[in-house]
Amino acid sequence: MITFQKYVKAETLEEAYTLNQVKNNKIVGGMLWLRLGTPTYNTVIDISGLGLNLIEEDDEQYKIGAMVSLRELETNKSLNDYTDNAIQNALKDVIGVQFRNLATIGGSIWGRFGFSDVLTVFLALDTYVELYKGGIVSLAEFSKMKYDRDILLHIIVKKKPCKCVYDSVRIQRTDFPVLTCAASIIDDEYKIVIGARSGKALLYGDEKGMLSGGITTENAAAFAGELSKCVPTSTNNRGSAAYRSRLVNVLTERNLLKLGGLM
Amino acid sequence: MDITLTLNGKKISDQIDPDLTLFDFLRNHNCYSVKCGCETSNCGLCTVFFDDTPVLSCSVLAIRANGHSITTLEGLQDEAGEFVGFIADQGADQCGFCNPGFVMNTIALLRENPDPTDDEIRQFLSGNLCRCSGYEGQLRGIRAFLNSRKNK
Amino acid sequence: MEHKDYKAINKSVRKKDAMQLLLGKPVYTKDVVPDNALVVKLLRSPHANAIVNTIDTKVAKLVPGVVDIFTWEDVPNNRFTNAGQTYPEASPYDRLIIDRHVHCVGDVVAIVAAENEKAANKALKLIKVTYDVLEAVLDFRTAKDNEILVHPEDNWVAPCEVGGTNKRNLVASEQSEYGDVDGVLADCDIVIDRTYHTKAFNQAMMETFRTYTSYDRYGRLHVISSTQIVFHVRRILSHALGIPKNMIRVEKPRIGGGFGAKQTAVSEVYPAFVTMKTGRPAMIVFTREESQIAGSPRHEMEVRVKLGANKDGKIRVLDLYTLSNSGAYGEHGPTTVGLSGHKSIPMYTGSLEAHRFNYDVVYTNTMAAGAYRGYGATQGIFALETTVNELAETLGMDPTVIREKNMLKEGMLMPAYYNEIASACALDKCLAHCKEMFDWDSKYPVRDMGNGKVRCAGIGMAMQGSCISNLDVGSATVKLNDDGTYTLMIGAADMGTGCDTILAQMVAECMDCSVDDVTVFGADTDASPYDSGSYASSTTYITGKAVEKACIDLKKRMCSIAAGLMECNEDEVIFEDGILRRINTDQSVTISEVGVKSQLNNDIVPQASASHCSPVSPPPYMVGMVEIELDKLTGEVTILDFMSVVDCGIPINPALARIQAEGGIVQGIGHTLFENITYDSKGRPIESSLMQYRLPTRLDMGNLKVEFEHSFEPTGPFGAKSIGEIVINTPAPALAHAIYRATGVWHRELPITPEKIALGK
């Protein structure tokens, strides 16, 4: 259980930002990690009153506020139609409905957690994050950035002709995944994302053009085989590096086959 | 800190520590139906409605409820009473410790989806752990309730 | 088999407390106690084996709200066991309230008592301890005769001779043999010799361990605890604290699950000690982490099975050796291990010529094990049933057919089960019934579903006991109230299982009244008649029989009172259809009239008590079958259907019996597929939360179907045997079998995770 002296519900982004520059202050999102560990903070900064709880959609993009819950994403029809339900598939096994009503996309993306289903699926889309000071950067870039004291405001998903699929392996259905894999074709460009390796999700493309000309049973297998050799995997208590590398192969091949309408 | 909220339909005010959880706040206000089973946001025992949304009260700061409406099973006795007899008929209440969270989330499910399939029930309630019943009796009870509602 | 038309027995009535529980009423320990209690928190050792060198509580005691802090220097030096067992306990006296020598990670180093939780937690952080860290014994295979002793102390005591000695890290050890095992083995066409490994699975009941203590108005220690064993807790506290038993009262409110965890006094001694020292009410609530790392889980076991058979599938000889890991303390160590052989081998009584069962139970510097539903039988049955399945697959025989050939049948003498006779055994009917219900013949063959997925099936059989024979004592007091209703007082503990209701059904059957007319009170050492407690599957069978006896006595008493009312001889009065009738006349009096009369000018107490103990422990039997879909590429197992048929004699309450079975099956599924207990290299438990120790959700279990085959147990109440424990035993062998069918690999270590399946190891 965390302990802290002071709680401030920020009224402006600037107020939240300024408070967040102070050592030992902390922005909270969905607060699902509230009871993990026993850290002590001076001030906890609540950004739930800053209008960051909307999913805005226009012809160009979805603009998702950092405080939008995972459950709202999971049940958003437009977003799921656009992603062939990949978002729903990625989120539906995260603990439970009550958990997903609290967990925010901002918290998930900001955390850049190694086990994240959320990061995996959004990396497979044409996704950007909007930071209060840092402006708009691609999610792929953001995922590699160091933790700083900026504030994540929005997740932006560009609307482009898109097909997307998602799969994961879990030892138990609502557990952290042993491996996650999302794959998409956006503007004829392939994105393959592997997460829970056990490090954070990594985005791969079809640099060698192995899949150009369309997915076939053969090139899907070949691509997956190659990818499983280059995705770095490691061992933790949910799986060994060897098993994870095997899953990279299996899930990538299956996802490509699904993308190609072959499975 | 000062907090004012609607708890089970009644407006209440209190002074609280900023790091008090909603779970502790509710137990301090005699809502003993709210139970803690895990401390890691995994078990669903502490489920309450934040406005009308089912959430884990162990993972919400009490102060976040300021200006909102919180409902616990104490405030839903009639709505719960309509259906829990069907769970009792199955004997699926068992030790009962997970029941309030399970009942709350089932009410949330049925408000959102009045005629769920078995798979939809399992999916919606997957965050409600029960170590006694093996879940199947809970499902039979919900199904029996839905059938009786249809036949009315 | 006796067929009788019961009025209250074999009926699915609601649990008496169901609506209270379902509507969230405040009925559990933490709900019913005053909130002015001191908060008790424990500082726990981060080391698996160490001596506390210095411990400095000065700064911690200065935290506002901290009332006192206790260390090894403050506690009595008499060793005791927390095991909830009949005195003299089989478990060794190896504990101190706080031991300077810590024996596992999580062992208690200091007890903090504070006005509130924040202060207590702050104090925990401020206690300064230095340890002399010692090398630890973490692998139970190396424990016996290891030069590192887990309990080197000189005041270690074993109250019963069970073959243990702390100087060899041995909690218990025994050898037993029937027939010429080596001779028969040498004569067999086929011998399968396999070793299995099961883990220290956690009960993970939803309500963690918790206890409240205060001094009552007579200056006695009043304990309100979430426990299955009020009377044993009283004795354990008396022993540990050095105060007389009559100065302690233990009661339990509703319990949020136990499954055996609360058959050990895990949490009681700490607040009791605080109340003794401070005079103030005290309460401890274990965190989930504490429950996970310092609870009382299943004994990790390694079971070696040697099975000798003929080519025609006749199983002629079984030789089991079990190595059991009791962890840092010996609670239930000497007893659980016995069931791994005594409750597995007898299933093949039909053909066995000889059997041997040897075991060792060892200490290690890991968390102490205890009692968990199944109590050793679960481990032994996984090993034996998997070996039998392997025999069937090796011989190319259908595994149901091989069991039909060898299994125990009603009326057989069981040399491997204390020479008891299987007086009620429908195991063969369970198998036939399950086979048909499950459609075994179509589901057993492996079916390729494409994309690397296959479907197939597996089977396991099980037995258990219905009590500890010649040992468990159950008692009941039944009294007539002046409104013609009854109150049943018991010392058994309903932990959600429904025993209050089941025993009330028995009263209703005996007294010819409605179940609603029976009030149940329990359990409280001041008011309840003595009962060993709710464990060993004994409550229905043992306490139930006591209820039956008490009712017979009460009826006699009521007849006497009625005789007074009707001015006749007592032997002219009969109790019939809920009324007291004078034979050969039209005269009768109602139960209420007798109740009223009992309070007016009366010297016959309308109350009766009875105790019961059984010379036998009739096994219930079960067959479980599972159909899975297995993804050969990822190793994922999806359970489609788990079907089972149980013979628990006559089920007193079929709905509750069915829920017991379903709940046990799902726990068994969890242990088989993903629940795990592992340690890092320093002996620190990894699965210390429900985030890491994954319980099955309703998405992990497939569809369950449970049906019953009735047998009639002549020594049980209304023909009943037990149901509570056996139900956890079939998932492991059935799933391991199905996984073999899909992959060709026998997995002999639990859990069988997707990784092990995919990588074939």
State the complex-level ipTM: 0.98
CB atoms within 10 A of CB C394: 11
Q: Which fold has domain A55-158?
A: 3.30.465
Condensed to tens digits (0 to 9), the pLDDT of residues C101-129 reads 999 999 999 999 999 999 999 999 999 99
3-state secondary structure A24-43: CEEEECCCCCCCCCCCEEEE
Last residue of some domain: B72, B92, B125?
A: B72
A105 in reach of chain C (CB within 8 A): no
A24 in reach of chain B (CB within 8 A): no
pLDDT of residue C3: 52
**Phi, psi torsion values for A111, nearest 5 degrees:** -65, -30
Q: Which chains border B (3 or more CB–CB pairs < 8 Å)? A: A, C
Instruction: Give the best residue of A243, A245, A251 to mutate against chain C (max C CB count within 10 A).
Output: A243
The CATH number covering residue B29 comes to 3.10.20.30
Tell me the C-alpha distance between C685 and C369, whole Å.
13
Cβ–Cβ of B19/A4 closer than 8 Å? yes
Strands (E), chain A: 3-9, 25-28, 40-46, 55-57, 61-65, 127-131, 135-138, 152-158, 162-169, 179-186, 189-195, 202-204
Cβ-contact C351, C405 below 8 angstroms: yes
- Residue B152: pLDDT band (50, 70, 90) is confident
Nearest to B28 by CA among B55, B53, B62: B62
Is residue B67 domain-shared with residue B114, that is, in the same domain? no
The share of chain C scoring above pLDDT 90, in percent, equals 99
Instruction: Give the best residue of B82, B87, B95, B140 to mutate against chain C (max C CB count within 10 A).
Output: B95
Tell me the C-alpha distance between C115 and C38, whole Å.
5
Single-letter residue type at C465 = G
Tell me the C-alpha distance between C685 and B39, whole Å.
17
- Residue A13: pLDDT band (50, 70, 90) is very high
Cβ-contact A105, A73 below 8 angstroms: yes
| CATH no., domain C18-26+468-612 | 3.30.365.10
Of B42, B91, B137, the CB nearest to C690: B42
Cβ-contact A181, A100 below 8 angstroms: no
pLDDT of residue C1: 45
C664 in reach of chain B (CB within 8 A): yes
The CATH number covering residue B124 comes to 1.10.150.120
The share of chain B scoring above pLDDT 90, in percent, equals 99
Cβ–Cβ of A173/B123 closer than 8 Å? no
pLDDT of residue A2: 84
For residue A120, give every residue at least 6 positions away whose Cβ sits within 8 Å of its Cβ, in sequence order, or none. A90, A166, A168, A180, A181, A182, A193, A194, A195, A196, A201
Provide the chain A residues 144-183 that lie in CB contact (below 8 A) with chain C.
Answer: 169, 171-175, 178
- Residue A28: pLDDT band (50, 70, 90) is confident
Architecture of domain C426-461+619-761: 2-Layer Sandwich (3.30)
Nearest to A70 by CA among A19, A8, A113: A113
Q: Does the predicted model carry a pTM greater than 0.90?
A: yes
- Residue C5: pLDDT band (50, 70, 90) is confident
By the 10 Å C-beta count (0-12 exposed, 13-18 middle, 19+ buried), C618 is classed as: buried
- The whole-angstrom distance between B146's CA and the closest CA on chain A is 21
- The whole-angstrom distance between B10's CA and the closest CA on chain C is 19
The share of chain A scoring above pLDDT 90, in percent, equals 93
List CB contacts (< 8 A) between C753 and chain A.
171
Q: Which residue of A has its CA nearest to C698?
A: A173
Could you state, in order of their start, the residue ranges of all structural domains in chain A? 3-45, 55-158, 162-259
- The whole-angstrom distance between B118's CA and the closest CA on chain C is 11
Q: Which residue of A has its CA nearest to B47?
A: A98
Instruction: Give the best residue of A113, A172, A253, A256 to mutate against chain C (max C CB count within 10 A).
Output: A172
Condensed to tens digits (0 to 9), the pLDDT of residues A108-150 reads 999 999 999 999 999 999 999 999 999 999 999 999 999 999 9
A42 in reach of chain B (CB within 8 A): no
State mean pLDDT over A52-73: 98
State mean pLDDT over A6-33: 93
**C4: pLDDT strictly greater than 90:** no
Q: Which CATH class is domain C33-136+203-293?
A: alpha beta
Nearest to C476 by CA among C401, C406, C552: C552
Is residue B67 domain-shared with residue B103, that is, in the same domain? no
Cβ-contact C78, C306 below 8 angstroms: no
**C274: pLDDT strictly greater than 50:** yes
Is residue B33 domain-shared with residue B47, that is, in the same domain? yes
Is residue B8 domain-shared with residue B36, that is, in the same domain? yes
Is residue B60 domain-shared with residue B84, that is, in the same domain? no
Cβ-contact C377, C393 below 8 angstroms: no
Of C452, C635, C674, the CB nearest to A172: C674
A3 in reach of chain C (CB within 8 A): yes
Average pLDDT of chain A, as a whole number? 96
The CATH 3.30.365.10 portion of chain C extends over 18-26+468-612, 138-201+302-418, 426-461+619-761
Domain C138-201+302-418 has CATH 3.30.365.10: yes
Architecture of domain A162-259: 2-Layer Sandwich (3.30)
**C76: pLDDT strictly greater than 70:** yes
Q: Which residue of A has its CA nearest to B63?
A: A7
Is residue B9 domain-shared with residue B21, that is, in the same domain? yes
By the 10 Å C-beta count (0-12 exposed, 13-18 middle, 19+ buried), C38 is classed as: buried
Question: Whole domain around residue B48: which residue ranges?
Answer: 2-72
The share of chain A scoring above pLDDT 70, in percent, equals 100
Is residue B60 domain-shared with residue B6, that is, in the same domain? yes
State mean pLDDT over C371-386: 98
Strands (E), B25-92: 47-50, 53-56, 69-71
- From its phi and psi, is residue A111 left (phi > 0), alpha (psi between -120 and 50) or beta? alpha
